[in-house]
Every structure is written in C-alpha cells, then in structure tokens.
Chain A
Amino acid sequence: MSDNIAAIQKKMQRKQANTGGDHSVHQITPYEIAALVVLIIIAILFIFPLYWIITGSFKNAQDVIAKVPVWFPLQPTIDNYQRLFARPAVRWLGNTVFLCAMSMALTCVSASMGGYALAKKKFAGRTIVFSIFVCAMALPKQVILIPLLKEMAFLKLHNTLWAVILPTVGWPFGVFLMKQFSETIPESLLEAARIDGAGEARTFVEIVLPIIKPGIGALAIFTFITAWNDYFLQLIMLNDTDVLTISLGIAKLQSELSNDFGLIMAGAALGSIPIIIIFLLFQKFFTRGITMGAVKG
C-alpha cells in the first residue's frame, strides 16, 4: 500500500519535473492569452453547427423556424425523428455503413499488401508503378467521374453501392500510406524469416502485419470517414431511393421538403452523430495516419 503511494508520488514528481522542464523557459505572454481567447471563440463557432443540429432535431415545429432563435428545446419532442423514420432513413444509414465498411475492408487488405510490396519487394518496374500511384494522387478525383459512370453502367453496377466502393478502394492514397509504414519493417526480420524457410504468405501474416498494424488502423478509420463523406461520388452513382446513402438522403429531404426544418435537422443528426462517435473512438489512429501520409517518401 505505502509502496504504491510512494510510486505514485514518484511518478507525479517526475511528471512535474517534466512539465516544469518544458515550460520553465516559457512564460505566458499577454499575446498568448489573447490568442487563446480568440481560439476558444472560433472553437465555439466550430461546435455550434453540431449543437444547432442536435438541439434543432428535438425542437417542435414552431421553435425550429422561430425568428428569434430558440437556443434550447424547452419542450423537446421526438416528432422529427418519427417522421424521419417513416422514410427509409434506417435503410440509408445501413447503406452508408455497408459502403464504408466494405470500402474500408477491401482498402486495408489490398493497400497493406501493395504497400508492403512497394516498400520491400524489389520487383522490376517498382519505381514506375510507385510514380504512377503518386501522380494519380495529385489529380482531381472528380475529373474521372464521367468515364467512371459509363464504366459502371457497362458493368451493370450503376445504382449499386459497388459503384462507389470500387473506385474508393482503387484510390492510391492507401497504398502510399501503407508503403510509408512498411518502410519501418527491419530488413533483418524479413531476412530471418527467409532463413527459417517461411514462405511469402507466412512472412506477410506473421511478421509484416503485426508491425504495420497501427498503419492499418489509421487507414481503416481514414477510409471509413472519407467514404462516409464522399458526396460527389455518391451523388453521381446512386439514384434510387433504395440505394441512397445518408448524405444523399438528407440532401434529398432538403430539396423535397425544404420547409420541414425539424425533419432535416433530425436527418443531419442521424448522418453526423455515428461518424463523430467513430472518429472520437479512433482519433489516435487517425492523427497518426494523417501525419504519416504527409511525410513524402
């Protein structure tokens, strides 16, 4: 017991010493206080839309369109959600989750294999393949949508979720990111596996995958969020009410029932809360992924 306390005290002292070390040189200036205040105000502006959507979705019909803004629903109602679920909103949400999960799974599998090959396999034409991947990343994604639409129509995939999933998986960012992570695999480990007589597949599963796991986590969450929000691609490929995503669903409600604000707010809440929760849960992976992808190799 007393040992524990001593340890905790020691830890705290160390922590204090650490932070003291970081900040001892640094005095807080008036500029920094002012800047922090400004930043907090901007942060509130950034959170406000979300607050407005969530509270708005529980407001009754008068409050939601009131000229004098009603800051909080004093008589909360779930009316808006009842009207939302009378439409195929659950279906839209299900479509979106399927689309994102499928894009995520396929991207992770193909990109981790491809990234590993680009980083560690000295196959002929490797540099050319990699250059094409990098160049393609700099091109505007949306420019290819016209031929892509024709291609999907030809493959009879137009108006199916696969028309959105396949191009998402093909996008080169994942391979690029996984190459960055695979560079960190020590050559000696691969060498040891080779000497032990491990085959390519076994080396990949038992040596490579555990090392690049954080990278796969980053790519997974990144792909999921990107796919969730890729409005343009969804807009072009999906038309039927049955295959709409939640983003398209909300946009459809906005254009068809532009006066029913409560319903639109409920739709927007349904479209943003799940993805925010996912983002917050996997935030750590996400930050690392963004940073790794930026370090140009």
Chain B
Amino acid sequence: MQKTAVQPRQSVAMMQSRRRENIAGYLFMAPSLLFFLGFVVFPMVMCLVYSFTDYTMTSFSFSGFANYQRMFQDAIFGKALWNTIILVLISVPVTCFFSLWAASIISKLHDRTTSFFRCVFYLPVVTGSVAVTVISRNMNWLGDASTALGCIITILLTTSVGQPIVLYVSALNNVDQSLVEAASVDGATNLQTFWRIKWPQIMPTTLYILVITTINSFQCFALIQLLTSGGPNHATETIMYYIYYNAFKLQSYGYGSAMGIILALIIAAFSALQFKVAQTDNG
C-alpha cells in the first residue's frame, strides 16, 4: 500500500526534474544555438538549395543537376581540383612529418626554450596570410607557371605547422614515461622506442592533425587571392579560389554553391578515410 502511494509521487518528482533539466538545458543552449542555427546551419542548407538553381544577379530558378553536370565539363574546374589535390597530398604529409620531427626535438629542451620555439613556429598563424604575402609577392617564381604552385605550397607550409607543433609537443610530453624508461632499460634504440611506445600513444593527436591540416589545405584561399589570383594560366587555381571567382566575381551563385557542396563532400571523404586508416592501424 505504502509502495503504491510513494511511486506515483516519485515519478511526478522525476518528471518535474526532467522537465526542469530540459528547460534549463535549452535556456543555456539558446544563445549559442541561435547563432549556430542562424549563421552556420541555415547558410549550409541554403548552399545545398542554391546548388540546384541557376542563381545569378538576374535569374533564380531551379535547374536540377545542371550545375553538377557543368562542373564535369569545366576544364578549369578540373585543373583547380587537380591543383588542390596536389597541394593537399604534398602539404599534409610534409606538415605532419615536419611538426612531429620539430616537436620531438623541442619537447626535450628546457621549458623556456620549448615555448620560444613554439611561439616562433606559431608566428605566421598569428600574423596571418596578409603579412606573409606582403614580403613574398614579388618573388619571380610566382610568375612562372611551372614553379608557382610549388611556391604557394611552401608558403602554405609556413602558415600551417604552428598548430600541429603545439599539439605534438603536448602529446609527446604526455607519453607515459615509465614505458619509455622500461623500453630503454630493455635496450631499445631511440627509434624503436619511438615507433613502439610513443607513436601508438600520440596516434589520436596525429589523426586530429591530419584532419585539420587536410581541411585547411583544401581551403587554401587567402594566399592565392593575394599572390597570384589563380594565375599564371590557372597554374595556381584551387577549388576554393575558383569558387570565390565564380561566386563573387562572376556572380554565379548557383554554380559556386554546387562546387562548394562537392568540396565539402571531398573533405568529408578524406576525413572519413583518415579515420578508417587510423582505426585499422590501431586495431
């Protein structure tokens, strides 16, 4: 008898507390959700919608997959895609390898020296692309179609190693020291210790760095816009710059949006692939 009397009361109290939790949760979420939905999610959805239209300054009507078909026949888009992939395939491994190498050296130094190096390598990220381009814009190599992309990649590298180095330094400092010592007692060489002990432990960091570097390299824009405008003869055309050119110079909003969707899909595919590879590596 007592039991039946207590239980409904308890569940009413639970429902009340759950309701309170819901209301409080959404009230706390409200400001960030408002900004997020209004200025990130809504434009994303609209981007998808635009990609199926022939949206320009003068027209706005649905055109099905016309934009996507046009992309396949667009030689410059092909060139831009090719350049972007080269840029990603070079800059991502080089960035990851260099930052791991640099971090493995500077993480062994004294705290002050470590933070000095960390700052120096972060400098180009802080000052931004505009400052970097101010001094490199008159390089002759940028005007030559055969060397221009190489130049862009080199400059891109300087602006992209900062964050990975910071991440690797802290990951390497967090590696379980007792394992490292045990390995060296067992007579493992430095290289063996690195691959067998440290590498598996910093794997999550590596994965994160791969993903963010890939995303950033795919979106390489400011350097191109400031230095070469995609030239000479489309030698440095990247997808991001071509999207900008179509959407904001030619006002082909529909076509630009469709390319944006394709770029997002490519980046998603690359990230998924990296997760998959990293998982099989671990397991």
Residues of chain A having any CB pair with chain B under 8 Å = 25-26, 29, 32, 35-36, 39, 42-43, 45-47, 49-50, 52-53, 56, 106, 109-111, 113-114, 116-118, 121-124, 126, 129, 132-133, 136, 138-151, 166-167, 169-172, 174-175, 200, 204, 225, 228-229, 231-232, 235-236, 247, 250-251, 254, 264-265, 267-268, 271-272, 275-276, 279-280, 283, 287, 290-291, 294-296
Contacts and interface: CB of A to CB of B under 8 A. Distances in A.
Contacts of B32: 110-111, 113-114, 174-175
Given A126-B25, A143-B264, A236-B248, A169 B43 contact: no
Contacts of B228: none
Contacts of B50: 146-147
B127 A254 contact: no
Given A271-B130, A279-B126, A166 B35 contact: yes
A138 B211 contact: yes
* Most chain B beta-carbon contacts within 10 A, residue among A32, A129, A147: A147
Nearest to A122: B21
A229 B129 contact: yes
A287 B25 contact: no
A43 B117 contact: yes
B33 to A, nearest CB: 7
B170 A52 contact: no
A80 B128 CA distance: 22
Interface of B: 18, 21-22, 24-44, 46-47, 50, 101-102, 105-106, 108, 115, 117-137, 158, 163, 166-167, 170, 181, 184, 190, 204-205, 208, 211, 215, 218-219, 221-222, 225-226, 240, 243-244, 247-248, 253, 256-257, 260-261, 263-264, 267-268, 271
Contacts of B163: 290
Contacts of B261: 143
A142 B221 contact: yes
19 contacts: A46-B123, A122-B21, A122-B25, A123-B29, A136-B40, A139-B268, A140-B215, A142-B244, A142-B260, A143-B260, A146-B257, A150-B46, A172-B40, A232-B244, A250-B131, A250-B134, A267-B134, A275-B127, A279-B119
A11 to B, nearest CB: 16
Contact of B267 (A138, A254, A267, A291): A138
Contacts of B41: 132, 136
Contacts of A280: 119
B21 A121 contact: yes
